[in-house]
Amino acid sequence: MAVKKVAVTLPEELYELVERARKIEHRTRSELFQEALRTHSGEPVYTPTEAERRVLNEALDDLRRDPGSGLPWEVIRREVRPRL
């Protein structure tokens, strides 16, 4: 897929909003802006199923009990990204 790089100027409060969301969701700025544009244009955005949410919540509970048991985000990202 071809990509284009763009520069965007944001008011400080929007920039801070993006940064908070990026850190909470462990996503890049590009991913956040792409999803926002898709949502704005009416393109469907992925929403996890209840089963997927349950699995994620179980994994998060495991991680809270044993913080050292998780994998680095980049490892997870490499494993999941090809499947999307």
64 vs 1, residue with greater confidence: 64
Q: How far is CA 12 from CA 1, 5, 31, in A?
A: 32, 21, 19
**pTM for the whole structure:** 0.53
Question: What average pLDDT does range 4-8 have in this prediction?
Answer: 93
What per-residue confidence (pLDDT) applies to 83? 55
All structural domains of the chain with their residue ranges: 10-46, 48-84
Rounded to whole angstroms, the Cα distance separating 6 from 62 reads 39
